Structure 1
Amino acid sequence: MTPDDIVVTPTGVRFRGRQLPCTWGRGGITDTKREGDGATPRGIHGIVGMLYRPDRIARPTDWAVPIRPGDLWSDDPRDPDYNLMVRAPTPFSHETLRRPDPLYDLVILTDWNWPRAVKGRGSAIFLHRWRRPGYPTEGCVAFRPRDLLWLARRITYETRLIVR
């Protein structure tokens, strides 16, 4: 482990000497992640990208990519583009990235089951803002908005998310 690793602990995330509150999947932490189980996969996950809503927040880093109208994330194992960003319209199940609520105003992408996804192993393990303190996610790791922005401004492609 390095100081630049984001380490999920029972009391929150440890990063660069700080402890930040967070939530994770309603299904707990698992070694056997499956699509729709609501669990956060245990392991060491790389950071592979960052998305943001340019109509709501300023670009957090020079490598963040804007979320455009019609940007989706495929969560359908039948989709040839399973666990990838896709564009509307699509006949497959997906998550809308440009949401009416602020949940995905800033999204940090991990390499869980990416770039060559195993069908059904789970998709879209993101770092994003939480709905409220203590409210679980569908498998992602979620933070207070100010903590997520603080993280986003300090991570690099060498940063890893470590879920124990």
Structure 2
Amino acid sequence: MKASKSQFLFSILSFLTLVCTSTNSIASPQGLLENSRQMLLVTVPQLNDYHATLRLYQRASVNGRWQLSSIDGQQSIPAVIGKNGLAWSASLKDKPTNMSYKKEGDGRTPVGAFALPEAFGISNSPHPFMPYIHVDSNTVCVDDSNSNSYNKVVNKSLPNLRQDWSSAEQMADAVPMYNAGLIVSYNPKNEAGKGSCIFVHQWRSPNAGTAGCTAMDSKDITYLVSHLKKVDKPVLVVLPTGEYSSFDSKWGLPALS
């Protein structure tokens, strides 16, 4: 009986350690935002630029109005996105003619609204309000489109895990960028070639873009990670400034000041 119970507990722990970047169901931007009470809004003035502005919005209920909240005393903060700018998410309709679709390895950040289901970090400091992934030497994010683990954060030490990838990001090596961060539920169907391993994390430099993530100063990501709550269903919204007016009413976004 003890052996059976131990095996059961090990199976549960193994399941929890194998973390997928996708959510159980795929929601439209409108659906995600209708059920959210916390939002990180990233606006980008130029389609091919990596400089961006990030704002935090919160509301008391899903029927309430979005209110701009400070980020450690600031109404907005500088951020950086993909080194090649923005790309259109395949899940979105009405792609502007001047924007390409998001592809694996294009160095672009996807446009859209995405759930933020989990926090992660290299330091073993579990998040008080969010599910937390402790990144260690066995933690990788698979970016090989041919792998069954494509676009998933996995722990290589799991027994019976089929390590069928030829390329994966060794997350523990990304110091200090991955000291603290958030999983972005982009490409939740894990469709091959449509982009993988999108996070919110610390920037390498304010003058360097990312591989497709959203990044910022260490104090800002630390503040955000410590203030987001799973119960509020936080969402990341990324839009070019020039297209914002086409989506604010449709998605229920606040007017930009």
TM superposition score normalised by structure 2: 0.58
Q: CA RMSD in A?
A: 1.9
Residue of structure 2 in register with 1:79 after alignment: 147
Alignment pair present for 1:128 and 2:201:
yes
Q: Choose between structure 1 and 2 for higher RCO, CA contacts under 8 A separated by at least 6 residues.
A: 1
> For the residues of structure 2 that align with 1:163 and 1:64, how far apart are their CA atoms?
23
Shift of 1:100: 5.7
Q: For residues 92 and 107 of structure 1, what CA distance do their matches in structure 2 show?
A: 25
Within 5 A, what are the aligned runs for 1:1-150? Answer: 4-10=38-44, 11-15=52-56, 16-17=69-70, 18-31=75-88, 32-54=101-123, 58-62=125-129, 63-88=131-156, 90=163, 91-99=165-173, 101-114=175-188, 116-150=189-223
Residue 40 of structure 2 aligns to which amino acid in structure 1? I
2-side partners of 1:134 and 1:61: how far apart? 32
CA distance in 2, matches of 1:124, 1:100: 13
Q: 1:154 aligns with which of 227, 239, 242?
A: 227
C-alpha distance in 1 between matches for 2:211 and 2:145: 16
The answer to whether the Cα contact below 8 Å between 2:137 and 2:170 also exists between their aligned partners in 1 is no
**Higher-helix-fraction structure:** 2
Contact 1:60 1:149 (C-alpha < 8 Å) held by counterparts: no
Greater shift after overlay, 31-40 or 59-68? 59-68
Amino acid at match of 2:82: G
Confirm or deny: 8 A CA contact 2:114 2:185 kept in the other structure.
yes
Tell whether the 8 Å contact from 1:33 to 1:121 is kept in structure 2 after alignment: yes
- Residue 30 of structure 1: SS of its match in structure 2? strand
Q: Gapped runs of 5+ residues in structure 1?
A: none
Letter in 1 for 2:216: F
Once the 2 structures are TM-superposed, how far is the Cα of residue 163 of structure 1 from its aligned partner? 0.4
Deviates more, 1:60-69 or 1:92-101: 60-69
SS of aligned partner of 1:5: strand
> How many corresponding residue pairs?
161
Q: Which amino acid aligns with 1:163?
A: V
State which structure, 1 or 2, has the greater radius of gyration over its C-alpha atoms.
2
TM-score computed with the length of structure 1 as normaliser: 0.89
Q: Which string of whole-angstrom CA distances, capped at 9 and with x for unpartnered residues, describes residues 91-121 of structure 1?
A: 420001111621111120011012x211000
Query: What do the CA deviations read for 1:8-47 (whole angstroms, capped 9, x no partner)?
Result: 0235101124201110001211111100000000000110
The alignment-based identity, stated in percent, is: 25
